[in-house]
Chains A and B, each alone.
Chain A
């Protein structure tokens, strides 16, 4: 979720909430200029610095001195009949200003995205809430993250990490899910001990993940309830620095290899070579930042989704880890038609190391606008 979180967070939180019609969280087309306009200022907010030591459980909670932050879960699930599903649960925090205040004057704005992707449908819902009145928020201890009726709650033992066992639920007009997430391996810090660089200009975020969840639960779909199992990945990221001025969007992958290893990789597009980065996570949870240039992502074919031409097949190469795979989306139409629209959905892949994962693509312009 690193880069993508970053992007999503930036785009969604800032673009959607600040520059979009406030009275109607409607559809707001985002332009490259829109991103560029956000690329600079972080005035008054704290900035990520190298050498950070995470402190838990405090760091599971909100960091209001940073402008943007999210709690981001994606899950690759499967029903008893073999049908595959994808689930997304995301809570974004965006500070309109520094400082804290009680009640409605609180400058924090919260946004939730939830989705279920099936092979032929994609159900989406979003929620907005003001901070300061209890409608949305995150408490570190006991860990509880919520917006409206959507909730991510810890049921971890006192001695374990709070995020190691979670209850996750959300519901939209035509779907709902309730999942239990359990991880038996440690949290993974990305980049330099959690300091994750996003551009050559030095934009960065704090970024850690829990990629090792086993999942069991139930999806409620128009056709009825479906019991599912599978695996999930949680990203935690916060920052104040949006993208660099020339970055227009990104492609982000979280991969579960059948052998138990995990890979987080992203490419930030800037009209030139782009900025790629990633983390290799071994099956025991040891994380290894991928050096610049050691991961290559290449679009193979596109499909027209929401009037945009989106890459739906990718080749991903990490030669140092003998990874050379081709990914395939479960459902091309995993379009998040939210205030800030983007593509997010489950994928599977074949090649040297097969498995499943999640793909997020943002910043692709509608064809007519190009």
Chain B
């Protein structure tokens, strides 16, 4: 056994590049997979924590039917009627550059399940409830609050990132919600002697505990996306492993035969090979998971930015090492290795003991196999069409994606074969016919690597098209949306009044940006009041609009909603909609609102102030000639002492938005590049494998007088032809992918649909990149061929039966 193992291992000593390819491929595949898993785990853990905040996952709550805030008097009335409820006020508050979520609680009535912090050791109740109070937050939030508040901040790391817990009295002041609460937590045990809810507060309804949390639901699709990417990367990585292992099996075939002839049983030979493979899997798996963590740590800040940007979800920027990620990474490395080696192992098992050594092409695929694959591919494409036509929802989107990709992968050999046949039919000379015929001969050995290339390329084209379409739409949209030249945030009502008066003679228009938060159609929503002004009439990015839409809004005859709300709740023009407070109106327009996780409603500013007299009136958009912007901003700062960050001009606002956008898709870009890199490696490994096995095909041609140099050039050319054909096949697949992402996955995941834009330059760049990568991968085998000792080629004939 030991001798057998030593004999087997000696192979790797003689072929270190092969060993490196195997280990590297496996590590890389495991790394990409583990990185995605680690990121997903981190994000999910943070959603779970958010869901647990104040026991929301375990406690039922009372909320207003219309989603607006509850009068504090209702809370007191319920308590006095025997209800054990505890008030919570929740809302967002901007501190400098950062938006944090404030939870105001009443520690005296909070149920034990809602214990968020324990101030027994850290301070007295008095300090918590008496101004300026105390903020409890995680370290990350404390950093964000530095210099932004006079309230002491105490760090409790179990509080979700981006959340501040403070006394409800403080929260009412911070959120400008005097005498209001968001919801009432219900103690699990209620007195049977309490008065029925309908008699005290008919406006309230009981809502069951939310075990998953909104964030987990909202971000599901995003993580599914990431997982799909991780899986794709892993699958592509396995192609590398498959190639390397296949080569090793092929090259050791004589050794296996010798060992068997010497008396090693097939069973024990198998056992030794499995031990060998498992050792590689474990080593590579360990390296892979470690690499995965490094990669995750590198990517997480961007993922966190994405999640914050798209969903308002706060995920910490640091990765925690979790045992299950290690276990899963190792398991997938081992399973992946065994799957990749299955074909080779089967060959060893069936190895005819005394058959003479016979060179044969590795994994010779018959025409029949290709035909069957084509049929399966056709079935998958039909299924994809049916899903596209009749399916709905995110799952359908992903099944559609999977069918399309798998179908394309299965169809690729047939497509390439057809392409090569056309090439052969068009060629006249014997040499070029041999070129095409030999390419077809080579195809079965390369088809897996080419499939990897196809998938990577298609993913790149698809995701690239999606991101670029998004960017193109976003840039246009932001020009419309940020039409005003200057945006200013005043600090209190007096300053607001003074600034408005001051601006009258110095600007073309001062437009209020006033909003309240509430629930609309069961969604957390911001309700904005908008002035009747040309700025909006000319620029606002409407998707659907009733005639005279702006006049209607100004008169209080209707509301505009954003696309997210429209799609999520299937609300369209003419539908009725209830605003917080029970105000009923009609939808007269739907506008695009990219990058906003929440629902939004726009009504006339007069309607807003009538409905919500307490609305904060601090923010304004200013219209002024572009050349006066800088001057005006400076004057505002010096005249009123308004802080730097409270005045932002259009250019800066756009840059900020675009930066956020770019950051959001940085991860996608990184994963794309990595996948393509892995595919190139797979190509390299396959070509390396084939080079050794193809000598018998080369030797006769060489013997007929073709120089090694010419042969090498033809080898290179063959690989390039295959790469080009694959790239051509990847284009429609990539566009199909882009369409699915834009028209189905995005709509489900983000709530908006984007028009598809085409970027042929980008495709050309990708195709060239993949061809270049192939050329690089083919260079070493070709170079070796050109330098091959003639004796090696002669050997082919010497060994001939």
Contact = CB atoms under 8 A, between A and B. Distances in A.
Nearest to A129: B108
B115 A23 contact: yes
Contacts of A22: 107-108, 118-120, 125, 128
A314 interface: no
B191 A18 contact: no
B164 to A, nearest CB: 15
B117 interface: yes
Interface string A10-32: 00000001111111111010000
A104 B109 contact: no
A318 to B, nearest CB: 41
A173 B83 CA distance: 11
A173 B117 contact: no
B194 interface: yes
Interface residues on B, range: 35 or more
Contact of B110 (A18, A23, A135, A148): A23
* List of 5 A-B pairs having minimum Cβ-Cβ separation, nearest first: A104-B169, A149-B82, A128-B108, A171-B193, A96-B126
A21 B124 contact: no
A354 interface: no
A23 B118 contact: yes
A74 to B, nearest CB: 21
Interface string B158-186: 00000000011110100000110000000
Contacts of A23: 105, 107, 110, 114-119
Contacts of A17: 108, 125
Contacts of B170: 104
A20 B130 contact: no
B189 A173 contact: yes
B72 interface: yes
B108 A130 contact: yes
A337 interface: no
16 contacts: A19-B124, A20-B120, A21-B119, A22-B107, A23-B110, A23-B114, A28-B120, A104-B172, A107-B129, A129-B109, A135-B75, A149-B80, A149-B191, A172-B191, A173-B192, A176-B191
A146 interface: yes
B79 interface: yes
Contacts, number: 103
Contact of A149 (B73, B107, B116, B194): B194
B318 interface: no
A202 interface: no
B191 A135 contact: no
A146 B120 contact: no
Interface centre among A129, A134, A135 (most CB of B within 10 A): A135
Contact of A96 (B80, B114, B118, B129): B129
Interface in B110-138: 110, 112, 114-120, 124-126, 128-131
A109 B108 contact: yes
Given A24-B112, A220-B193, A105 B125 contact: no
Nearest to B192: A173
Interface in B124-154: 124-126, 128-131
Nearest to A173: B189
A148 B194 CA distance: 11
Interface in B178-228: 178-179, 189-194
B475 interface: no
A176 B193 contact: yes
Given A96-B130, A148-B80, 10 more contacts: A18-B126, A22-B118, A22-B119, A96-B129, A104-B172, A109-B108, A130-B129, A135-B75, A149-B191, A149-B193
Interface centre among B105, B110, B169 (most CB of A within 10 A): B169
Interface in A88-138: 96-97, 103-105, 107, 109, 128-130, 133-135
B82 A24 contact: no
B108 A25 contact: yes
Contacts of A220: 193
Contacts of B178: 103
Given A96-B124, A107-B130, A148 B82 contact: yes
B407 to A, nearest CB: 56
Contacts of A107: 126, 129-130
A105 B655 CA distance: 42
A24 B105 CA distance: 12
Contacts of B357: none
B652 interface: no
A114 to B, nearest CB: 11
A148 B109 CA distance: 11
Interface of B is mostly: loop
Given A19-B120, A21-B120, A135 B76 contact: yes
Contacts of A24: 110, 112, 115, 118
B106 interface: yes
B717 interface: no
B319 interface: no
B79 A135 contact: yes
B189 to A, nearest CB: 5
A148 B79 contact: yes
B278 interface: no
B193 A21 contact: no
B62 to A, nearest CB: 15
Contacts of A171: 82, 191, 193-194
A105 B129 contact: yes
Contact of A105 (B110, B169, B190): B169
A330 B193 CA distance: 27
Contacts of A20: 120
Contacts of A128: 108-109
B194 to A, nearest CB: 7
Interface in B356-395: none
A129 B79 contact: yes
Nearest to A25: B108
B714 interface: no
Nearest to B73: A134
Interface centre among B82, B124, B129 (most CB of A within 10 A): B129
Nearest to B118: A21
Nearest to A125: B191
A250 to B, nearest CB: 25
Contacts of A135: 75-76, 79-80
A230 to B, nearest CB: 22
Nearest to B54: A23
B588 to A, nearest CB: 40
B81 interface: yes
Contact of B76 (A19, A105, A133): A133
Nearest to B169: A104
Interface in A247-272: none
Contacts of B131: 105
A21 B194 CA distance: 27
B31 to A, nearest CB: 43
A128 B110 CA distance: 10
Interface centre among B118, B172, B193, B194 (most CB of A within 10 A): B193
Nearest to A110: B108
Given A135-B76, A149-B194, A104 B112 contact: no
Contacts of A25: 108
Nearest to A220: B193
B125 A149 contact: no
B72 A133 contact: yes
Nearest to B121: A21
A245 to B, nearest CB: 20
Contacts of A19: 120, 124
Nearest to B86: A128
Contacts of A103: 169, 172, 178-179
